[in-house]
């Protein structure tokens, strides 16, 4: 089997760490693995397949002799360094928002539009985590019944903001339980025992950036400029795994039984429905899983041809690292 020289940019972040683990767990054909990060992380040691790898500095010259770059830096750094990786002959799978809406860059969820990988010019974009988690179950339903619109209400874990989000929730929880005020550091409001609108910039239309991403990215991935989407994205005091309530309108009458039958064998989907035990998708159970958990499937009473469902997915895995590695697998022709 041919092997590949892989670089992870942003290797010391929450997603970077998951990329290292995912490459190992999925037995990606790695000839060599190099880890890049900012100067403050240079010299740190991380393990891959039992071997300690030393983190190197992210520089423009760091991509020589590289085949694939898995990038999970900031959008600004990706814009700065990804062109250097492409110039050096590598293909970049970028986990930032820097290139997602660039018409020259494919935006890929392997269960949805794997064919788009072939259109790349050196960079392939990894979609936003909330978009991925919604589209893995929605795509097979769209193919079967035709989705005309959907409403998404998200419940997003703090780890979606990075490792600091986990720290802030843990620290504030300890403070509140000790009778102290919660110390805000990066989130705009206390996150312990609280929920608030997603901490991204509000646009002129009243939607925040996370909500706008779900609209624009879905249209690009589905190759459907007319599908109507309204999202409300909320940050909740959960460490890991996002959840979403999805209310979907179809172009034809659809029953919950038809939806279950369609999703039962859909790639990347796991049905979790036990009405007697009131057991449905939960972030606690989605954490650490590659599949998106789907349940609460029922007729939507607000749409003529509507179905309501609830999903949970690990945004560090399927919403980020796993999706990126799956894209890399498409590039190298590795079978799932």
Show which residues are catalytic.
129, 242
CB 120 within 8 A of CB 137: no
Largest CA distance in the chain: 59
Q: How far apart are CA 320 and CA 128, in angstroms?
A: 8
The pair phi, psi for residue 110, each rounded to 5°, is -55, -30
Name the β-bridge partners of 123: 92
Q: Which residue is it, tokens 């009131």?
A: 278
The pair phi, psi for residue 234, each rounded to 5°, is -130, 140
212 HSE (CA, 13 A, CB side) = 13
Length reported for the chain: 336
254 HSE (CA, 13 A, CB side) = 29
44 HSE (CA, 13 A, CB side) = 15
What does the block give as tokens for 328? Answer: 């890399």
Nearest to 294 by CA among 132, 137, 150, 157: 137
How is 31-72 classified by DSSP, letter by letter? EEEEEEE-GGGTT-EEEETTEEEE-EE--GGGGTT-SEEEE-
């Amino acid at each position: 089997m041919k092997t590949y020289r892989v670089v992870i940019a942003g290797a010391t972040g929450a997603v970077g760490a998951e990329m290292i683990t995912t490459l190992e767990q999925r037995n990606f054909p790695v000839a060599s693995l190099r880890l890049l990060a900012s100067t403050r992380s240079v010299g740190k040691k991380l393990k891959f397949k039992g071997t300690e790898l030393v983190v190197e500095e992210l520089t423009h010259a760091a991509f020589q002799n590289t085949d694939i770059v898995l990038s999970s830096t900031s959008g600004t750094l990706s814009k700065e360094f990804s062109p250097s990786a492409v110039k050096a002959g590598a293909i970049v799978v970028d986990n930032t928002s820097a290139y997602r809406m660039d018409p020259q860059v494919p935006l890929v969820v392997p269960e949805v539009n794997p064919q788009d990988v072939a259109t790349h010019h050196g960079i392939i974009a990894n979609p936003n985590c909330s978009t991925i988690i919604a589209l893995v179950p929605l795509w097979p339903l769209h193919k079967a019944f035709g989705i005309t619109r959907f409403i998404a209400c998200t419940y997003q874990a703090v780890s979606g903001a990075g490792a600091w989000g986990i720290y802030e929730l843990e620290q504030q929880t300890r403070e509140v339980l000790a009778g102290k005020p919660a110390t805000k550091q990066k989130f705009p409001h206390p996150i312990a025992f609280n929920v608030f609108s997603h901490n991204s910039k509000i646009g002129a239309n009243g939607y925040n950036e996370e909500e706008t991403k779900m609209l624009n990215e879905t249209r690009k991935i589905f190759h459907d400029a007319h599908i109507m989407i309204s999202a409300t994205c909320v940050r909740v005091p959960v460490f890991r795994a996002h959840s979403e309530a999805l209310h979907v309108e179809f172009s034809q009458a659809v029953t919950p039984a038809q939806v279950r039958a369609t999703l039962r064998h859909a790639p990347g989907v796991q049905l979790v429905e036990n009405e007697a035990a009131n057991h449905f998708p939960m972030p606690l159970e989605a954490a650490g899983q590659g599949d998106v958990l789907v349940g609460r499937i029922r007729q939507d009473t607000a749409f003529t041809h509507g179905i309501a469902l609830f999903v949970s997915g690990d945004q560090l895995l399927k919403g980020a690292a796993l999706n990126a590695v799956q894209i890399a697998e498409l590039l190298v022709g590795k079978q799932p």
